């Protein structure tokens, strides 16, 4: 099977390496000659600045900057191939609505955290009622600056947290309040509160010296924590708001450590072979952009 990959920058090369690990052939399109050379060195069967080279691929993955997604999708819609596009769909709700009207072939979003085994396990715990009544979902996503220069920290980081909430709850509550730290026109840190009962709190920032990726479920009878993206276990502390430290019970639940990028790309490949569709259809990608736009307006 041949897969077309549009964009072979920093993250595109990660996608390429994972596709090769999954034993598919990859044709790369990139206008940067250096990126094409790197793609060939990694194992792409072709790397070219000519978009028509992707017409024979079974499916196409878009890994260009989010601000270019609308223009790219406008060009490849006539190829009539299934599309897997990196998050966010775009950085403008107007562009997202325009994309909705393009009449695209089957198109899905690469919302990678929906495939993370730890997040899926947290969703299972929530649905099983292991923590009692769920009161709060908290996510923290921080690091120092960002390699993505075309947009700010809200659009770069928050799509992950919103789709984590989607995977755990099955829906995303409406934003209620936002506090943002702006550096010129760019949001670099932001705290947003969504919904109530359960409430969701997301913290994103590119002003932290350390990298944090924590997800917490806090219920009436316990707290479950995914400490970071590298761990292979959920920590659970059972007890209510009056349980002493001595009385609380701790449990670790281990999960599959397969990288979520591998899992989501495998899902797209399986779909191209006639299997079920990936988790995030185009409509979900559009709704995520709508919610981020709403958060930005509250900020």
Q: Is the pTM of this model over 0.75?
A: yes
| SS3 label, residue 77 | helix
pLDDT of res. 147:
78
**CATH architecture for segment(s) 116-258+291-298:** 2-Layer Sandwich (3.30)
Q: Calculate ∠ Cα 191-116-235, nearest 5°.
A: 75
| SS3 label, residue 49 | coil
Q: What's the whole-number average pLDDT of the chain?
A: 97
Reported confidence tier of residue 166, pLDDT bands at 50, 70, 90: very high
Rounded distance between C-alpha atoms, residue 192 and residue 178, angstroms: 4
Reported confidence tier of residue 146, pLDDT bands at 50, 70, 90: confident
Question: 292 in the Ramachandran plot: left (φ > 0), alpha (ψ -120 to 50) or beta?
Answer: alpha
Every domain range in the chain assigned CATH 3.30.360.10: 116-258+291-298
Which residue has 């919302």 as its token pair?
111
Q: Are strands 46-48 and 25-29 parallel, antiparallel or unpaired?
A: parallel
Reported confidence tier of residue 276, pLDDT bands at 50, 70, 90: very high
CATH of domain 2-113+263-281: 3.40.50.720
The percentage of the chain sitting over the pLDDT mark of 70, rounded to a whole number, equals 100
Every domain range in the chain assigned CATH 3.40.50.720: 2-113+263-281
Rounded distance between C-alpha atoms, residue 236 and residue 193, angstroms: 24
Reported confidence tier of residue 262, pLDDT bands at 50, 70, 90: very high
> In the β-sheet with 83-86, what is the strand arrangement from edge to edge?
46-48, 25-29, 2-6, 59-62, 83-86, 107-110
Token representation of residue 6? 């549009």
* Residue 240 reports pLDDT greater than 90: yes
pLDDT of res. 102:
97
Question: 195 in the Ramachandran plot: left (φ > 0), alpha (ψ -120 to 50) or beta?
Answer: left
């Amino acid at each position: 099977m041949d897969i077309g990959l549009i964009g072979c920058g920093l993250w595109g090369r990660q996608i390429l390496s994972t596709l090769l690990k999954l034993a598919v052939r990859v044709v790369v399109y990139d206008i940067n000659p250096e990126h094409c050379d790197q793609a060939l060195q990694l194992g792409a069967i072709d790397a070219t600045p000519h978009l028509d080279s992707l017409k024979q691929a079974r499916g196409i993955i878009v890994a260009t900057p989010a601000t270019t997604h609308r223009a790219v999708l406008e060009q490849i819609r006539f190829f009539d191939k299934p599309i897997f596009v990196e998050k966010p769909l775009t950085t403008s709700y107007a562009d997202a609505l325009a994309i909705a009207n393009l009449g695209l072939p089957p198109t899905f979003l690469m919302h990678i955290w929906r495939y993370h085994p730890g997040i899926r396990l947290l969703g299972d715990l929530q649905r099983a009622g292991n923590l009692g009544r769920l009161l709060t979902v908290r996510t923290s996503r921080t690091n120092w600056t960002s390699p993505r220069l075309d947009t700010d920290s809200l659009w770069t980081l928050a799509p992950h947290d919103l789709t984590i909430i989607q995977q755990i709850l099955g829906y995303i509550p409406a934003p209620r309040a936002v506090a943002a730290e702006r550096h010129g026109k760019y949001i670099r840190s932001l705290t947003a509160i969504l919904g109530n009962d359960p409430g969701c709190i997301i913290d994103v920032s590119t002003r932290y010296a350390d990298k944090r990726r924590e997800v917490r479920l806090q219920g009436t009878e316990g707290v479950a924590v995914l400490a970071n993206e590298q761990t292979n276990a959920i920590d659970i502390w059972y007890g209510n708001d009056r349980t002493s430290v001595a009385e609380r019970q701790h449990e670790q639940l281990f999960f599959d450590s397969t990288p979520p990028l591998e899992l989501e790309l495998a899902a797209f490949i399986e779909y191209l072979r006639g299997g079920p569709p990936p988790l995030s259809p185009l409509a979900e990608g559009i709704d995520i952009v709508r919610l981020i736009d709403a958060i930005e307006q509250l900020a």
